[in-house]
Amino acid sequence: MAFSAQRPEWSVEGRDWPNREFSRFVSAGGISWHVQEMGDGPRLLLLHGTGAATHSFRDLAPNLAKHFDLLAPDLPGHGFTDMPPSSGLSLAGMGRLVGILLAKRGFEPDIAVGHSAGAAILVEMALSGTIRPKVIIAVNGALLPIRGASLFSPLAKLLFLNPLAPKVFAWRALSHDATRRLLEGTGSAIDARGIELYQRLFRKPGHVAGTLGMMANWDLDGLQRRISRLSVPLVLVSAANDKAVSPQDAAIVAARVPVARTMPLAEGGHLVQEENPEQVSDLVVAVAREAGAPARVETERL
């Protein structure tokens, strides 16, 4: 399925993209990636979740860049990164492609932070030996199959194969209120600027197709069977008001993974890194220090 002509355009949708001055385009794994690189210190890889892009870290990334050398890509098929073949939208495929990108940049992360499905990609990469960070931090990590949604993947596949589905979704997303309601359904309250950025992406069938393709090719059942083998320490951050990933999932995963521990947050929804970037940044800095990859003290850079 080709949506290259309907993907977000850097000169249009990206005209005032958050942290645009740190953006660059890199060819790796047969596709062009949009990545943002900033900061200095221990190396930190930052991955967004399904349907998002680097804008979901618009305030978090600059905070982290005060302490870390940060790399944050748009995942394949998302934002301003090209759509890969469908195999590249699977969990293993995403991990493989991100690994190729890291190799191209010569970037070996000391810390890996993933939001939602981004956390699943990091765990998959660690299990395959693609990355060996000192710690993985999962922010509302989507690490377990969605309860009561056994038909989710087949339905997503049907939608992905239907060339009209992304166009219909994009048409419905033209409304600011429709995008706001969709985001509120995650349990998060996002400001008008954040809503408008999501709306830019949701209006483009190419981005929607990447989101549907990721859903259609996702296999969290396989990850669930292997996750107990994880040897990299895993910190499971869960926000109390998350309506997309149950906060209880963190405790379930922690019980199965000997190297995992939970860090519950009393406030925030699924997009907590957008609602309270300072809190999430402080948490990452503290965890990095505990893991033996201390964040660079800001005064050292003056």
Q: How far apart, in whole angstroms, are the C-alpha atoms of residue 220 and residue 77?
A: 19
| pLDDT for residue 298 is more than 80 | no
* Domain of residue 135, CATH code: 3.40.50.1820
Domain-located, residue 159: no
Domain-located, residue 119: yes
pLDDT tens digits, 81-137: 999 998 899 999 999 999 999 999 999 999 999 999 999 999 999 999 999 999 999
Domain-located, residue 248: yes
pLDDT tens digits, 19-36: 999 999 999 999 999 999
Domain-located, residue 57: yes
Instruction: Give the model's pLDDT for residue 173.
Output: 57
Domain-located, residue 155: no
Domain extent at residue 266: 22-146+218-290+296-300
Regarding pTM above 0.75, the answer is yes
Q: How many CA atoms lie within 13 A of 215 on its CB side?
A: 23
Which residues 6+ apart lie within 8 Å of 36 measured at CB?
19, 22, 23, 24, 54, 61, 70, 71, 72, 73
**Residue 2, by phi and psi: left (phi above 0), alpha (psi -120 to 50) or beta?**
beta
188-202: average pLDDT: 94
Q: How many domains does the chain have?
A: 1
pLDDT tens digits, 202-237: 889 999 889 888 888 888 889 999 999 999 999 999
Q: What mean pLDDT, rounded, does the chain reach?
A: 89
Domain-located, residue 35: yes
Domain-located, residue 205: no
Domain-located, residue 13: no
Q: How far apart, in whole angstroms, are the C-alpha atoms of residue 203 and residue 214?
A: 18
Q: How far apart, in whole angstroms, are the C-alpha atoms of residue 302 and residue 281?
A: 20
Instruction: Give the model's pLDDT for residue 72.
Output: 98
